[in-house]
Amino acid sequence: MKIMPQFIKDPLPVTNLGERHVPAVLLVDRSGSMSGAPIAELNQGLIEFGNALQEDQLALGRAEICIISFESNVQTETSFRPASEYQAPTLSVGGLTALNEAIEAGLDAIEARKEEYRSLGVSYYRPWLFLLTDGAPTDTEKESAAKSRLQEAIRDKKVVYMPMGIGSADTAKLQSYYPPETAAKTVLKADAAHFREAFVWLSSSLSVISNSDPTMTDTVKLPPTPSIITVGI
């Protein structure tokens, strides 16, 4: 397993060790192309996300959030910590869009946290990888590696990929990171008004009352949300 130390710097200890956790990584774009309204929208969205977290106390005790930002470089804003400790960062823009490197970093961070769960005997739901971007990566030389790693992780049910478009996002680009065979290549629109849906999805994925086959709960069943953009293959 590959652990990149800079992405596991000072994570906070896991709380509520006896409960099933859901780790979530937010990959947030703060490249130059995000300047102006998009970054303001993103910063507001991160605050909304925190507010939405507070509304579900069960999920608040089980979710863990890690925020990784990217421009020319990839930077961990906050390492994994209980959702109850969530603090929205304020991001400024500048630089290129190392989106692919950020995907690798996010998957690494998830692997590291999972290893910690295992050693503590903490069970977990499938991790979430949120990608908030206007969708124009510049590190294209890393794209095929990052893409195939993410696609494999999605196929192996190791991660739930949840791209969220900001501003006039390149939806087709974000969808291309899904495995080709995925039927519903969901891309959420991440404007401030709809941002909390991201967490509603996250929290309902762990408190959803199942009346279907309970052994199949690792397939994500989500309630309908009005702002989905679903495009067929």
Partner 1 sequence: MATYYGRFGTRYTTAGQLGSGGEGTVYTLSGYNSIVAKIYKDSRFPDGNSRAVMERKLKAMLAMNVPYTVSGVPRFAWPQDILYENNVMKGFIMPEIHTKYKIYDMYRGGRNAVREKLYPDYTWKYSVQFAYHLAWLVDYLHSYNIVIGDFNQSNIAVDVQSGTVVIIDCDSFDIRDPITGEHFPCTVGLPEMLAPELQAVGNLSQAAFTKSSDYFSLAIHIFRLLMDNADPFGGVITTGASMSSIPANQAICNGECAYVRNVPGKKIPSWSQKPEMLPPEILGLFRRTFDYTALTAKKNISRRATAYDWAMALQPYGMAEPNPLLKRCPVNRKHVYPAHNRRCPWCEQEAETKTQGKPAVKTAADRTENKTTDRSRQKKKKKKNPWPGRFFRAAVVSALLAAAYRYYTVQESGRAEKAKDLFWEGQQGAAISAPASDSSVPNQGNSAVSVPASDSSAPNQENSAVSASASGSPVPNQGNSAGPAPASSESLPLQELLAGKADGSDDELYGTAEEEKTEYILEGSDSRYIAEEELYPLTQQEIQLARNEIYARHGRRFDTDWIREHFEGTDWYTPQYDPDYFDQNLTAEFNEYEKANIDVITAYEERMGYY
Q: Where do contacts with partner 1 occur on this chain (CB under 8 A)?
A: 13, 15-20, 57-58, 61, 84, 112, 114-126, 156-158, 204, 207-215, 217-218, 223-224
**Beta carbon nearer to partner 1, 99 or 112:** 112
Phi, psi of 79 (to 5 degrees): -75, 175
Write out the H or E segment, with its range, that includes residue 109.
Answer: helix 99-120
Residue carrying the six token digits 């969808």: 175
**Beta carbon nearer to partner 1, 168 or 211:** 211
Sheet holding 63-70, edge to edge: 74-82, 63-70, 22-29, 128-133, 160-165, 187-189, 228-229
**Beta carbon nearer to partner 1, 125 or 161:** 125
Least distance from C-beta 1 to partner 1, angstroms?
A: 10
Least distance from C-beta 176 to partner 1, angstroms?
A: 25
Whether residue 53 contacts residue 103, with contact meaning beta carbons closer than 8 Å, is answered with no
**Beta carbon nearer to partner 1, 168 or 210:** 210
Least distance from C-beta 170 to partner 1, angstroms?
A: 31
**Beta carbon nearer to partner 1, 20 or 73:** 20
Least distance from C-beta 13 to partner 1, angstroms?
A: 7
Residue carrying the six token digits 């020319």: 72
Q: Residue 228 burial by CB count (10 A; 0-12/13-18/19+): exposed, middle or buried? A: middle
Least distance from C-beta 36 to partner 1, angstroms?
A: 35
Distance CA 13, CA 11 (A): 7
